[in-house]
Amino acid sequence: MTTASGPLKGLKVLDLSIIVAGGTATSLMADFGAEVVKVERPGSGDPLRNWGPFANGVSLWWKVHSRNKKSITLNLAEKEGQNLLKDLAKQADLLVEGFRPGAMEKWGLGPDDLQKINPGLIMVRFSGFGQTGPYKDRPGFGTIAECMSGFVGMTGFSDSPPVLPPIPLADELAGVFGAMSGMMALYHRDAGGTRDAGSTGDAGVNKKGQVIDVSLFEPLFRMCIPHVTMFDMLGINRERVGNDFPDAAPRSLYQTKEQSWLGLSATSQNTFEGLARSMDLPDLLTNPDFKDNASRLENRDALNDVLNDWLGKKTTPEVMEQLIPAGGVVGPVYDAAKIAEDPHYLAREDIIEVDDPQLGNTKMVGVVPKFSSTPGAVEHAGPTLGEHNSHIYGSWLGLEEAQLNDLTGRGVI
């Protein structure tokens, strides 16, 4: 067995989550060396295994999202399965779960139960609306979180309906927050301890875990940074403005001569003035309608007309060659085909190739971000269901083959 190298090497993580949010958190941890053990229901596994598209009958979502993880099967509805989970939790640093609030407690696997046997255990709990509050028992997927976060309400054009993102954005962002908060809790447990401003203390003296409550709607709400404050202080309720940025201009998408889309942003005064000079449009500098950001916002449509006219007469390569050397912030709208051939993506190893027993050589997104001394790595794509039962139950718990066969036959694992 191999485990990816990286700054988290030696960290043991139990992943009881399903589908995207918790799996994103543990995927990031696994990329950087944590030993992530994916605990799945016998026979069916994580529902993400059933998400298409499929190649050779295998979910491509699963192969990427669960790379570097080890899969075991365990029936948590059975008392014997619950006891096995407790034995595994004794050795884990983090446990990530994504059941409805109260489910873990019903199985005798809540924070009080698990931290009694492992006081240093950190639990990261994902749910639609959090572990508290009047909505905590509602079923919650990322779609509803995106709607209720305020994000969808301001996405799209003023004359069209709101627009949902084409990726599970709320889930994935919640996963990033979950990984980040898990690392914060680890720091507090292992390095921060109980030190305060008046005490030097010793690193690692705390060794107490804690429970982290991650909802799906709050991380995306947190990214809508000043919106509640704007409403409170100024009565501004953010509305849909298409591709423009409500607080600075210009920033939008424009079409070039060959009808390709291109993004352009000049939302600081220096950048705007440099853009005007690089376009050889001195009127942009002298016209009082565009003298500062407030003026440009007030006259945004007129400014976009000028930019659309100039950009529409040039090809994308011509635009890039003229504007970028002068400091222009501009770039084409990519699809997967364009990304796959872009030399910058390739130079930064953002697309890697993994040899998978089921799919063969498979390209997928690389490890992000880049570490100078302890980089992460991808050792293998998502595992088959229960592929690591013998390894994990053997190395973590010392169970022998006969015991595993018995547990398998009785549907416990």
- Residues identified as active-site: 171
Burial 382-409 (b: 16+ CB within 10 A, else e): bbebbbbbeebbeebeebeeeebeebee
Measured N-to-C along each axis, helices 401-409 and 389-397 cross at an angle, to the nearest 10 degrees, of 120
Cβ neighbours of 133 (radius 10 Å): 11
CA atoms within 13 A on the CB side of 78: 14
Measured distance CA(110)–CA(13) in Å, rounded: 16
Measured N-to-C along each axis, helices 169-187 and 21-31 cross at an angle, to the nearest 10 degrees, of 50
Measured distance CA(295)–CA(302) in Å, rounded: 11
- Vertex 80, ends 130 and 120: CA angle to 5°? 50
**Secondary element (H or E) of residue 269:** helix 269-278
Q: Which amino acid would we find at residue 223?
A: M
Measured distance CA(248)–CA(274) in Å, rounded: 16
| Long-range contacts of the stretch 245-251 (C-beta < 8 A, 24+) | 246/297, 247/297, 248/293, 248/296, 248/297, 249/293, 249/296, 249/297, 249/300, 249/303, 250/296, 250/300, 250/303, 250/304, 250/307
- Vertex 4, ends 206 and 209: CA angle to 5°? 15
Q: Answer whether 89's CB lies under 8 Å from 118's CB.
A: yes
Burial label, 56 (beta-carbon count in 10 A; 0-12, 13-18, 19+): exposed
Query: Which token pair is 41?
Result: 């229901």
Measured distance CA(27)–CA(44) in Å, rounded: 20
Q: Tell me which DSSP letter residue 332 carries.
A: E
**Secondary element (H or E) of residue 223:** helix 217-223
